[in-house]
Amino acid sequence: MSDRTVGFGAIGLAFVGLLTLTAFGLVRGTDGADETTINPSEVAPDFDLTLFDGGEFSLSDHAGKPIVINFWASWCPPCREEAKLLERTWAVYEDRGVVYVGVDTQDSELPAREFLESFAVTYPNGIDTDNAVSRSYRAFDLPTTVFVDRRGTIVKRWIGAISEQQLVGWADEIVARGAEQR
């Protein structure tokens, strides 16, 4: 065998290995709650995000409100799976004072805007251009959904497409937690 053939073989093996790791990450991302990377009861890290509509979102501006933070990307199949559910539940929970915010990460602006338009997403969304917000929440697998109570405490974290039962149950939980302090 020539050195060239061996070189192409090594590149091919490296590519297959990378694909395998990527596939493992996507599959692993559907396993669910991951309490090893963020400790529930941890204070939610503050962040500022420029929204796709040109506005600004600052977590600290919503202190005292229950918050659902969803980390997503336009290329992520499970993100597409849960997009309509998130929009539908936000429409219900907005009246109950729950703030939803979408954090687009590991993505480009144009595909992200097309994603939001195709799923008619209307709750605030912005792009995490430098992945700083994603890193602070350790949202490396997508989608990741984080539930923050009125005290600013992370109550739940879910990796993978969230089910309606989980989303509604945990949204109810963050609405109820700390309600006596309003």
pLDDT tens, position by position, 77-122: 999 999 999 999 999 999 999 999 999 999 999 999 999 999 999 9
Q: How far is CA 87 from the centre of its chain?
A: 14
Band the pLDDT of 141: cuts 50, 70, 90. very high
* pLDDT value at 19 more than 50: no
pLDDT at site 91: 95
| Residues paired with 125 in a beta bridge | 102
Q: Are 60 and 46 in contact (CB under 8 A)?
A: yes
42/15: higher pLDDT: 42
User: Would you state the pLDDT for residue 23?
Assistant: 40
Average pLDDT, the chain: 84
pLDDT in tens, 27-54: 344 445 544 445 667 899 999 999 999 9
Pairing state between β 125-127 and 99-104: parallel
Q: pTM score > 0.75 for this model?
A: yes
Per-residue pLDDT at 13 exceeds 60: no
* % of the chain with per-residue pLDDT over 90: 74
The secondary structure of the chain, three-state, reads CCHHHHHHHHHHHHHHHHHHHHHHHHHHCCCCCCCCCCCCCCECCCCEEEECCCCEEEHHHHCCCCEEEEEECCCCHHHHHHHHHHHHHHHHHHHHCCEEEEEECCCCHHHHHHHHHHCCCCCCEEECCCCHHHHHCCCCCCCEEEEECCCCEEEEEEECCCCHHHHHHHHHHHHHCCHHHC
Q: Over range 115-137, report the average pLDDT.
A: 97
Pick the residue with more confidence: 9 or 126?
126
What are the tokens at 15? 């590519």
Q: Which pLDDT band holds residue 177 (cuts at 50, 70, 90)?
A: confident
What is the structure's pLDDT at 180?
Answer: 57
